[in-house]
Structure 1
Amino acid sequence: MPSIARPPYIMEEIGRSCKNFSSLKVVGTFDLQFASPIASHLPKLKILSVRCSILTKEALLFILDCMDHLEVLNISHCLLLENRTTLGRKHIIRELDQTIMGKVSSLREFYHCMSQSCTTCQRMATDEGLMRWYRYEDWFWRQDEVNSLSLGQDNGKLFDEGCLNLGLNQS
């Protein structure tokens, strides 16, 4: 899957041309370099899904701190990385800490899954965070835990029951 080489320019153009833009689904690498232009040029974004992506803790906290209009966030099946390194490698976060949980408590809906029994999380680990979509069912990339971003198809047996009910609904 190709990466977006210049996210600031693309987000700037979307922000300028699409005044009512309120939902975004990103698949790939979601780091501070990607999060910053989203927060700058799409400040009224209400729904963001970065499921099945490499997500840095720094980018996640930045989005949660800067995007006041964000209501729904999906970080399900992400490979969540922390900036502190061990022998030149980023540390993989296996559980959300209190800092993150405190910040997401203000969202209307928050979806996350880091289950070792989840087939999708297993695929992310096998693919080292960059999902090899061509290896899987042709409809798989269309799925999203956020209903408004899902493009149909049944979830099949890819998600365990715990993953399907991880939405934090505070309505």
Structure 2
Amino acid sequence: MEKMIEVRLTLNGEPRSVCADSRMLLVELIRDVLDAKGTRVGCLTGDCGACTVLLDGEVRKSCLVLAAAISDHDVRTIEGLDRIERLQEAFIAENGFQCGFCTSGMLVAAAELLRRNPLPSHEEIRRGISGNLCRCTGYESIVDAVYRAAWGKGSRGGLAGAG
């Protein structure tokens, strides 16, 4: 028998209160109950990072968090990130995505990295996105995109810059 609980949170700046199964994962609450579809369901084991969100400003994999544990907390998904246009444009310019499945989680992790470290090196970028898997790109284009967003220039393919 499922036990329903009230979950109160701030999702992308908006206070919300919903009833949810006490066993529900945060990723399920975000997608299925609160209808924020940008957060992806990937592995459900914390390995892929497709479900990456910011929980009280910290990068977290929402498939590893019970919805019951987030009452009175702030959750930001890809839909609620401020000022990520430069990062999105850099992903397009550097071909930082192919199938797009990992992109929302990758952007959340990258945006938080750039908030903490506005001018990261390539190695710092690799560490910053290391919790997110991409099966398509080989990561170099993603690293280059984050670098471009930070430094305002590319680092490969004849573009000025170094890292």
Q: TM-score of the superposition, structure 2-length normalised?
A: 0.28
Q: TM-score of the superposition, structure 1-length normalised?
A: 0.27
Work out which of the two has the higher radius of gyration on C-alpha atoms and give 1 or 2: 2
